Structure 1
Amino acid sequence: MATVLPGPTAVSPSSLPKSSTYTFTSESVSEGHPDKVCDFIADSILDSYLEQDPTSRVACEVLCKEDTVVLGGEISSRGHVDHDAVVREAIHQIGYTDSGAAFNADGVKVLKLISRQSSDIAQGVDVDTNANHEQGAGDQGIMFGYACSETPGLMPLPIFLAHRLTRGLADDRRSGNYPWLRPDAKSQVSVLYEHNKPTAVTDVLVSTQHSADIERAEIADYVRGDLGPRVLGEWFQSKIQFIVNPTGSFVLGGPSADCGVTGRKIIADTYGGAARHGGGAFSGKDPSKVDRSAAYFCRYVARQIIKQGLAAAVEIQVAYAIGIAKPISLKVETFGTGDSREALEFAYRFDFRPSAIIERLGLLAPIYRQTTNYGHFGRPGLSWES
């Protein structure tokens, strides 16, 4: 009998007994999902500041609902950014351009609730004012990184395939081959594991926004007959149960229908629930915030452990105190696929201080818009994936 894992912060499938058989499911959302719209706007604002001033301190939160975009947070920078222009360009790039919809690039109004970063925080983060004369962590917290040998990109198979589905929907929409596709979409992929190895995709759920003039049956035919086989590749089989737009209709979507907020898709952004999560979101945060930079570095180190052949699956946890550069703790778990102590000793070779992470991964560059959608990990071209 298959075992359903209990929620998005469950332990990795690799930590289960070797004789177990279970099904594990991960979710992805498209760039047009309301929460991802907010994440993309936040990262677009971050990049705009970093382009002008690489030392910018940015903590930007976004809320979208109907015809309103709310920007909140703290920004200290020598740069001067036209927030309205950045917001509209981001929305336009996603594809919300229909003037007949409440949420569209030209019609939204932008409310700004932004102040400067607190001097109490800055005195611990900035080298000039830090008591130890080095860059301290921008906040306290715990961060996790994970890697496994299930896919060439060292990502768990369920989230890897779920992202391929939502990205495929976006590519097909932009190609014009399926003009009825709209930006908002979700996917879920369920994978059967036997002896801790993925053996088959069992279920695929796709919910995609569409124009009013298309029938559900035609959408289902597209997902089952074209999208699914194309993006699942070798994992496609005729026995897969495809569930498509289960409510029957998905015409009204995006922020016109639902409220979006930054930081609400942290599991889709990381490992799809196959590893633990410290709770900190990524988008809209400059790399002085270890929620982002340390999570990227934990993933980087986890990849090196896999590539060194020290384990087939590994999870790294690091913890920081605000204003202090050196981590409070570092833990490595290999789930029985390797020697955890040996992997920990390897991890200790890396410098986890924020300034070292930022330098090693080149995190002061305006690179963050490209990370927002379809996962921050497992994609080529990112320094922590090299």
Structure 2
Amino acid sequence: MRSSYFFTSESVSEGHPDKVADQISDSIVDLLLSKDPEARIACETLTTTNRVVLAGEIRCKPIYDEDRWPESGGWAPGAREEIEATVRATVKKIGYEQSGFHWNTFDFANHLHGQSAHIAQGVDESGNKDEGAGDQGIMFGFACDETPDLMPATLYYSHKILEKMAADRHSGAAPFLEPDAKSQVTLKFENGKPVAATTVVVSTQHAKGYDEGDKEAELHAYVKKVVAEVLPAELLSDATIYHINPTGSFEIGGPDGDAGLTGRKIIVDTYGGAAPHGGGAFSGKDPTKVDRSAAYVSRYLAKNIVAAGFARRCTIQLSYAIGVAEPLSLYVDLHGTEANGVTAAKLEEVLPTLVRLTPKGIRTHLGLNKPIYQPTAAYGHFGRKPEGDLFSWERTDLVDALKQAV
């Protein structure tokens, strides 16, 4: 592993069109799980100018049952209206009240339908058959000691910049900001540690007139102030380069400026390019889908390994086959940073004894069959503070058991 290098990660705000789609999809996941903890959801969202379209497969008898309500295509009385109200409330919370995309006036289309029976037969428990994985695939988890939350520093600070800007927009402290924004942070590393922020890029949608003169200067000064509040002072200097709205005007944004789709920001969602990604998106999927749940437990295991002091960096891979309960493989890489006599091979032996890595075992251990997903759909699924049922995979409650086991 190189010890001295430059590295960059980006983030996008809750108002970015792809993130609008992610949040809508996860609002549907939460709605259905609130009705039935065993609901199955695969909800995709398209956003564009004054339009939102849902598509995908669901199974949730309080909402959709083809045998009970055949005259309405399977939908329970009022269910379609509840789904539409949930979507509009999600967009309203983000803050879109623009002529090109307004929470109350966009055209809405719901093309969700029943789950394939052939998928269901592989996933569901039956007789002596354990619940199987909802799909095949590979999933990765990662942790490192670059930040207190054990996340890559470049992504961590990129997220925090946009979170602060969104908070100021919602509170009215920065009324010139609109919902769509992107950030990017480049850090210089020496001996594996960040020592300087060389470049910070922030592009933010803004109110009319904030692309010239005194108002542009006000916007630029505000962004630099946010960066100074988020990044440690020792990383910033007169040599730090800022690119703030480098294209000039950014009045047209969000779904009006660019179409959005669920699952197009998977690197923003995970580790900012600092670790591998299996390719599967998270948002819109219930926790029987291992794209989501196995990625969460992989992060949980990697974070606990680093928190236990066994390594400074850890990558974990799991793999699954559709309909098969047990993972096909478990891989641990400590990137040459292992400590205290621990080896990757020993951890591969120990981890399955601490957490059962079947879909049901993961869901049970992390408490995933709950409406907890909309908060994950902006500013990263990892590196977040566990609170109550939220972000359970960010807990470090496995440290003591790990220390005893190895």
Smaller-chain TM-score bracket: over 0.9
Equivalent of 1:174, from 160, 170, 177? 170
Equivalent of 2:39, from 38, 56, 59? 56
Deviations 1:126-178 (A, max 9, x none): 1027xx52110000000000001111101010000000011111011112122
Sequence identity, in percent?
50
Distance 2:173 2:194 in 1: 33
Amino acid aligned to 2:20 = V
Query: Are 2:252 and 1:252 aligned?
Result: yes
Equivalent of 2:352, from 332, 343, 348? 348
2:230 alignment counterpart: 231
1:3 alignment counterpart: none
Helix, strand or coil at the partner of 1:74:
strand
Deviations 1:273-309 (A, max 9, x none): 0000000000000000000000000000101111222
1:277 alignment counterpart: 277
Query: Are 2:359 and 1:360 aligned?
Result: no
C-alpha displacement of 1:223: 1.3
1:5 alignment counterpart: none
C-alpha displacement of 1:345: 2.8
Q: Is the 8 A contact 1:28 1:162 kept in 2?
A: yes
Of 146-155 and 333-342, the range deviating more from structure 2: 333-342
Equivalent of 1:385, from 391, 394, 404? 394
Map 1:123-162; keep pairs closer than 5 Å.
Answer: 123-128=121-126, 132-162=128-158
Equivalent of 2:16, from 33, 56, 65? 33
Amino acid aligned to 1:337 = T
Distance 1:369 1:17 in 2: 37
Amino acid aligned to 2:131 = Q
Deviations 1:198-239 (A, max 9, x none): 111111000000011223332212112x11111113333333
Query: Are 2:194 and 1:194 aligned?
Result: no
C-alpha displacement of 1:340: 2.1
Map 1:103-142; keep pairs closer than 5 Å.
Answer: 103-128=101-126, 132-142=128-138
Deviations 1:248-274 (A, max 9, x none): 110000001110000000000000000
2:310 alignment counterpart: 310
Deviations 1:80-112 (A, max 9, x none): 2422111100000000023xx121100111112
C-alpha displacement of 1:347: 2.4
In the TM superposition, structure 1's runs of 4+ consecutive aligned residues that sit over 6 Å from their partners are none
Distance 1:24 1:149 in 2: 15
Q: Is the 8 A contact 1:298 1:317 kept in 2?
A: yes
C-alpha displacement of 1:43: 0.3
Amino acid aligned to 2:231 = L
C-alpha displacement of 1:344: 2.3
1:222 alignment counterpart: 222
Distance 2:184 2:316 in 1: 26
Distance 1:380 1:346 in 2: 26
Distance 2:239 2:286 in 1: 45
Amino acid aligned to 2:113 = S
Amino acid aligned to 1:32 = G
Distance 2:169 2:309 in 1: 40
C-alpha displacement of 1:191: 0.7
Helix, strand or coil at the partner of 1:342:
helix
Q: Is the 8 A contact 1:143 1:295 kept in 2?
A: yes
Amino acid aligned to 1:22 = Y
1:370 alignment counterpart: 375
Of 300-309 and 148-157, the range deviating more from structure 2: 300-309
Query: Are 2:214 and 1:210 aligned?
Result: no
Amino acid aligned to 2:26 = D
Q: Is the 8 A contact 1:310 1:343 kept in 2?
A: no
Query: Are 2:55 and 1:87 aligned?
Result: no
TM-score (norm 1): 0.92
Q: Is the 8 A contact 1:70 1:111 kept in 2?
A: yes
Q: Is the 8 A contact 1:305 1:346 kept in 2?
A: no
Q: Is the 8 A contact 1:30 1:184 kept in 2?
A: yes
Of 256-265 and 169-178, the range deviating more from structure 2: 169-178
Query: Are 2:292 and 1:292 aligned?
Result: yes
Helix, strand or coil at the partner of 2:217:
helix
1:17 alignment counterpart: 2
Distance 1:333 1:239 in 2: 36
Helix, strand or coil at the partner of 1:348:
helix
Amino acid aligned to 1:148 = C
Distance 1:64 1:144 in 2: 28
Distance 2:94 2:62 in 1: 25
Q: Is the 8 A contact 1:148 1:156 kept in 2?
A: yes
Distance 1:186 1:29 in 2: 4
Q: Which runs of 5+ in 2 are unaligned?
A: 64-78, 396-406
Of 112-121 and 294-303, the range deviating more from structure 2: 112-121
Of 138-147 and 340-349, the range deviating more from structure 2: 340-349
Distance 2:366 2:381 in 1: 14
TM-score (norm 2): 0.88
C-alpha displacement of 1:346: 3.2
Distance 1:352 1:319 in 2: 10
Distance 1:37 1:125 in 2: 29
Root-mean-square deviation over aligned CA pairs: 1.2
